[in-house]
Structure 1
């Protein structure tokens, strides 16, 4: 079962384009770095330190990673790799000293992790500890940690880098961190805003109004890896319609909550209806059996969150299924649409409609 789930996750990442995007970012950064090594191979660390701002930054990086002048001399004496004319690189694998080559490869890998954050052993140790997979507590911790690993990884890597750069420039840790983090926070906020708007389009909604201070608060959280909290600013539900309380425990907690609502939760509602005087038919009709059942299918069908098919899946398939099995489907669609309207949004593919009504409204109304 674990292998099957892993294959589903891998296939979903591939279909979304995330696998290729992530690999491409890492590969392009590493080649850019190897090219920077080549471009400076004729110069010593002292010469780089006396150069322009970019060369000075590179010299500080070499020193910060523990490379001496003699180490750098050995590295820059390595053979040049030129796969195509004009594209020359200096690779760690070409450095004759094996120990030095490994140190250089490790340093480049660390820079890659800063440019393209990915879970580190430090993050896993902090979030999961010594809890083994397959145990109840181990699986609970892994579910809880799933949506928190990026935020902790990025905060740790960038915070550590900010302190080191500040010290290298003669600043105190607090001043150095503030000077380094401020432009990053600005860039991440802009990226978070783009992420929110693109997600709205994928859900069949028009973009959120950007003249609302709540939008920029949500963008700041989204850019910092705290996407679970972004829509909590707007409402009591999290970004993908899941209850914020359940999202706090990760996908495992959400699955348990959905399963409970569709089974024991509805049993309790039916029992409560009969206790207050309804007959069996009225009590069953008063429960949300159809809606909860469609919700389980909507949320837990593999691939349902693929961005380029999400709106079509929800509107053309799942909304139609809900309309069949949920007597109050129309009221539910109208309630969700009104919630968006209160926040100044409309829908280019309205709730419950099998086909889109129009193209997305990308320009804000005047």
Structure 2
């Protein structure tokens, strides 16, 4: 939808991803140009294997080498358009080779900068049509898990395709270490952005969560140390997916409060309404404004509605994070100003 696309752009995720893909593709074209003076037999073995994987052998490499390069600000790049327009080749030959080069660059870009893939979408939706019960349910269950699915179809399959057990182990080891380290960095940045000190990095629970985070399934890492996730949702509610969670929250806000009111029970409609809006309002999860919005607007609305109950909830939340993760808040819930700077030494247990 337009709203979802706009939020992705404003969050800088879409521009960041596209910039990464563009940079890798451009670097690949530059790398081909840099190697244009190297004979096929003398190419770096890994690069040669990559070419052969896409059906580019010595004869085709010689055609690529002889193709006019594109020069920009002193740097040379391989020009696919120049290859496709070569007059000394048959139309089929130049088009087929241009497609092979583009397939190679596009596929390797998907490995370097994973994004939602067609295979992932097929696994998520299958043959179920959008708008049907099965189709929407399957999309909800696997929504925001496409990144992890893409990793399975790219790096997992490439690792399994390695020729020897040693090469398989080496590929998976380097992949696991790299994604886990980056997952750990992402986790710590998220914690700071939510007003909490970094998590202690000396526990097995942290590195288990970091491994899941690196694989695009970070929300399930929350359950390694707690029975609820970062949104105070159970694992069953998390498995259902955001669409199912939305309908559950909406039904509680509307039908649930109506039933409580008709039964003569006290309702929490205002508090639940504040929580609902803060969770589902487009843009409410923007990483650079979320904390300020939560502390200065949402928390203050909660305190205005029910000061005593809200302070108890804030206190329970602080105690839970201290117990489950050993964390403290550098900007406490309900406060309009940070009480201190983040304690980065908390990451090493200080």
TM-score normalized with structure 1 length: 0.87
**What is the aligned counterpart of 2:142 among 141, 145, 149?**
145
1:163·1:176 contact (CA, 8 Å) conserved in 2?
no
Q: Distance in 2 between the 1:311 and 1:260 partners?
A: 27
Equivalent residue for 1:334? 315
Separation of aligned partners in 1, 2:268 and 2:224 = 27
The answer (yes or no) to whether the contact 1:230–1:239 under 8 Å persists in 2 is no
User: What's the CA shift for 1:347?
Assistant: 0.6
Q: 1:301 corresponds to which residue? A: 281
Q: What's 2:49 paired with?
A: 60
Report the Cα offset of residue 268 of structure 1: 4.7
Deviation larger for 315-324 or 230-239: 230-239
Find the residue that maps to 2:232 and give its secondary structure. coil
Residues 144-193 of structure 1: CA deviation (Å, up to 9, x unaligned): 221221111112211222233x22xxx15xx4332211111011111111
Which residue of structure 1 aligns with residue 183 of structure 2?
192
Task: Give the match for residue 272 of structure 2.
Answer: 292
Measured in 2, the distance between the counterparts of 1:187 and 1:239 equals 24
- Match in the other structure for 1:250: 241
Aligned pair partner of 1:360 in 320, 334, 342: 342
Q: Secondary structure at the match of 1:89?
A: strand
CA distance in 2, matches of 1:268, 1:176: 61
Q: Structure 1, residues 108-150: CA drift from partner, whole Å, max 9, x if none?
A: 1000000011122222222211112222322222222212211
C-alpha distance in 1 between matches for 2:231 and 2:298: 15
1:10-29 alignment, distance < 5 Å: 10-29=5-24
- Determine if contact 2:253/2:269 at 8 Å carries over to the other structure: yes
- The structure showing larger relative contact order (alpha-carbon pairs under 8 Å, at least 6 residues apart) is 2
Residue 100 (structure 2) pairs with residue 103 (structure 1) = yes
Larger mean CA deviation between 118-127 and 65-74 belongs to 118-127
The secondary structure found in structure 2 opposite 1:304 is coil
1:230 pairs with one of 221, 225, 230: 221
What's 2:91 paired with?
Answer: none
- Counterpart Cα distance in 2 of 1:328 and 1:264: 23
Which residue of structure 2 lines up, in the alignment, with residue 73 of structure 1?
62
In structure 2, the partner of 1:217 is 208
Q: Secondary structure at the match of 2:72?
A: strand
**Tell me, which stretches of 5 or more residues in structure 1 are unaligned?**
1-5, 49-54, 275-279
Cα RMSD after superposing both structures: 1.7
Structure 1 residue aligned with 2:296: 316
Query: Where in structure 2 are there 5+ consecutive unaligned residues?
Result: 87-93
Partners of 1:244 and 1:296 in 2: how far apart? 19
Deviations 1:20-57 (A, max 9, x none): 21111111111111111011112222122xxxxxx111
Work out whether residues 69 and 76 of structure 2, in 8 Å CA contact, stay in contact via their aligned partners in 1: yes
Cα contact 2:55–2:100 (8 A) shared by 1: no
Shift of 1:196: 0.8
Instruction: Tell me which of 40, 43, 46 is aligned to 2:38.
Output: 43
SS of residue in 1 equivalent to 2:71: strand
Give the Cα separation in 2 of the matches to 1:291 and 1:242. 17
- Structure 2 distance, partners of 1:267, 1:106, is 57
